[in-house]
Amino acid sequence: MKVVIINYSGNVGKSTISTNLLASRMRSPRKFEVETLNAGGDVEAQKIVGKRFGDLLDAVMESDDAIVDVGASNVEDFMKLMQQFAGSHLEFDYFVVPVVKERKQQTDTLSTLNSLQHIGIPRDKIRVVFNKIELDDEMEKDFAAIYGMHTAEKNFTLRPKAIIYQNEVYERLSDAGKSLDEVVSDPTDYRAQLKTLTDESQRLDCLQMIAMKRLGVTATKNLDDAYAALFA
């Protein structure tokens, strides 16, 4: 599977979705960042400047599975180059568009969806994922613009259960420089280890891992459900 994560807006969680939602559920995908500057980017990803679109296509075609994270500052170029390289969008299976509650980001999301449709990408390839959602949010009210566009134009696929809930673990993971999969699969018994430590710094690191592992159980279940809904 080859997936593009894209939105004209920043701060919608593209890097988090790439690492924690997609990469651990795909078959060892190659990861590409189309970005001139992405402070939150995956350090292991290959950085490809937007205008080297031909190189990106070559690499994607040679991959069985790929994740392309398009930074907000490169989306316009990426869209133009997809049109210049006629039919290049056919190399990708899905275009995942993350959206959050903030009004500006929702406006940018609508523009992103319109641009993808304009290029000729079919609606079944364009998937919206709701990100940073609180448990008590009223989805159809908080995302009225997204639901409204879907009802009126039906130019993308909307799955109401494709939701990533707000979870403190993502901020902790970013601070620790770890992925959710790394933390959840770590076999270390940190509770037992904690009892043997006297160094305060090591104890704090141990407590951090315990907290992340506990939060990670809930986050992983949520991501499993979101992934299943998104690609059902």
pTM as predicted: 0.90
Looking at the fold, whether 156 and 176 belong to one and the same domain comes out as: no
User: Which of 122, 144, 166 is where one domain is finished?
Assistant: 166
Q: How far apart are CA 142 and CA 59, in angstroms?
A: 39
- Total of domains in the chain: 2
Looking at the fold, whether 52 and 118 belong to one and the same domain comes out as: yes
Q: Which 8-state DSSP code applies to residue 198? A: -
The residue range of the domain holding 217 is 168-232
Looking at the fold, whether 140 and 176 belong to one and the same domain comes out as: no
Angle at 133 (CA atoms; ends 116, 66), nearest 5 degrees: 45
What's the mean pLDDT when you consider all of the chain?
A: 92
* pLDDT band with cut points at 50, 70 and 90 for residue 48: low
- Higher per-residue confidence, 38 vs 77: 77
Helix axes 53-61, 75-84, angle to 10 degrees: 70
* CATH number of the domain where residue 160 is located: 3.40.50.300
Looking at the fold, whether 116 and 197 belong to one and the same domain comes out as: no
Looking at the fold, whether 97 and 84 belong to one and the same domain comes out as: yes
- CA distances 198 to 45, 172, 201, 208, Å, are 37, 23, 9, 16
pLDDT tens-place string over residues 111-126: 999 999 999 999 999 9
Looking at the fold, whether 114 and 155 belong to one and the same domain comes out as: yes
